Structure 1
Amino acid sequence: MGSTFKEKVLGGPSKPNNVRNLISEGAIPLEFEGGDRLLPKFNIAQPTLEQLCLPWKECLVVKILRKNIGYLTMRYRLHTLWKLQGGFELIDISQGYFMVKFDLVADREKVMQGWPWMLFDHYLIVRPWSPEFMAADAKVDSTLVWVRFPGLRMVFYDESVLLTIASAIGKPIKVDLNTLNMTRGRFARVCVEIRLDQPVVGKFNLNGIWYNVEYEGLHLLCASCGCYGHIMRNCSRTLSTQE
């Protein structure tokens, strides 16, 4: 029988614990808002909080951008996509987010360094877990994407040149190997981290010639304002001009 998510996080089988009175210990002080017992307030002391967080620090949080799928489908797809040496445990934490704990540190590094990943032609958001993460309040405001520069002359298929161009689009991450090796000439391909709450760059000029920028896997790019997440007929800018 495989290990549970709890066992993998905590590093061993679950054992009965001696329940501590954390209030009397001062680890989790209790107060009442305005002296009202119906409004209890807890404030976990920093040493206690750090101890609670320690086993979770190697977990990752994943979510498919603008698409929700079930637990079993996500687990199967991640297993097929990542092709890890060891196993991993997955837990559904609502709002389309999943937490992942890996058996091997090398597998975690592979996932972190292998960005961007895609499932069902949508980007898989991968983030290190943090104590502040709450699925209900989490907002995906940036992602790694592959951008293409179609028709770019191959004389410019230089890593430094391409990363410099990409820096005007977002945070440049890496150049696709097929582009670096010049095995494909229809377009140059670069991985860039972009903001999803800001308009994207649609074209750039290089030595007097304008080139288009294409974004892979972003299915909702507004042709009016250039922002991700809606189409032109639902754009506030378009609607305001029609009033």
Structure 2
Amino acid sequence: MEFGEGCRAHAPSRLVAWTSNNRISEEELKELQSRFSEVVEISPERLRRARSAWAPTSVMIRSLGRRVPADWVARELRAQGKLSYDVEVFIMAAGFLTVRFRSQEDRDAALENGPWLVAGQLLAMEQWKANFVLGVNTVSRTVVWIRLPCLPLEYWERESILDIAAAAGRPLAVDYCTAQLQKLGYARVKVEINAITLLKLGTFIQREEQRFWQAFVYENLPAFCFSCARIGHLESSCQFAVEGPIG
């Protein structure tokens, strides 16, 4: 008999749905709270001790496309991060991974050094969080390169490029060719974005008495929906209703 099997015959039928896939909605949580009053308390000191083993040096990861093997992720983190050791990888449910480095500096470098692509799949990566419940919380922070095509020459100062890119997300760096003005077809900027919110397709730039539209081109995105401007699914399977402008 599987763990919990003996309880299922007495559980409300609509609760079985979330126990079978480890997900629970806010409505189902409220129903549980109305039916069960018992609470298990864990001592704050024990929690502080347990969290100290994870918080300073760990990240949580999920693929924004197909799932990739955990050992592939570990190899990529070591190779691209130029680490002298193998990171610890802990396989979670629903395709999530927790990765622990040996130092906070290595963890912070991994967060800043994206984009992380493994087997062609873009990874979302965030600092480890306490009380992170799989199926309720998610990992949505990712780093991507964006291009600013046909950017007028007077905007090719680093500060101006970063200001424009800030409309897409948190700018982290410009690439070498952009900084050295070697290729002027487009400026290239590394930005941090939220993978579950609408992507900005561009921004207006004010120039004296007029303004012009500057498009953003995102590199190496997984499936992109042109209906809701989110990544992770195609327009044919979109479940989001969008009203008004999405740019």
Normalising to structure 1: TM-score of the pair? 0.71
Partner SS, residue 41 of structure 1: coil
Name the CA distance, whole Å, in 2 between partners of 1:81 and 1:97. 21
Partner SS, residue 116 of structure 1: coil
The alpha-carbon distance between structure 1 residues 236 and 64, as it changes in their structure 2 partners (threshold 3 A), is closer
Deviation at 1:228, TM superposition (A): 2.4
Partner SS, residue 53 of structure 2: helix
Q: Contact 2:64/2:124 (CA < 8 Å) preserved in 1?
A: yes
Bigger relative contact order, structure 1 or 2, given CA contacts below 8 A and separation 6+?
2
Deviation digits for residues 175-205 of structure 1 (CA, Å, limit 9, x no counterpart): 2232112222221111222233333222333
Normalising to structure 2: TM-score of the pair? 0.70
Give 1:30-69 correspondences, 5 Å limit: 41-57=39-55, 58-69=57-68
Deviation at 1:92, TM superposition (A): 1.0
Q: Contact 1:173/1:192 (CA < 8 Å) preserved in 2?
A: yes
**1:210 maps to which residue?**
213
Name the CA distance, whole Å, in 2 between partners of 1:237 and 1:73. 33
Q: Unaligned stretches of 5+ in structure 2?
A: 1-32
Q: Unaligned stretches of 5+ in structure 1?
A: 1-32
Partner SS, residue 100 of structure 1: strand
Name the CA distance, whole Å, in 1 between partners of 2:201 and 2:160. 18
Q: Contact 1:87/1:104 (CA < 8 Å) preserved in 2?
A: no
**1:178 maps to which residue?**
177
Name the CA distance, whole Å, in 2 between partners of 1:169 and 1:76. 30
The alpha-carbon distance between structure 1 residues 138 and 96, as it changes in their structure 2 partners (threshold 3 A), is same
Name the CA distance, whole Å, in 2 between partners of 1:192 and 1:142. 10
Partner SS, residue 39 of structure 2: strand
**2:27 maps to which residue?**
none
**2:119 maps to which residue?**
120
The alpha-carbon distance between structure 1 residues 100 and 142, as it changes in their structure 2 partners (threshold 3 A), is closer
Q: Which has the higher Rg, Structure 1 or Structure 2?
A: 1
Amino acid at match of 1:75: A
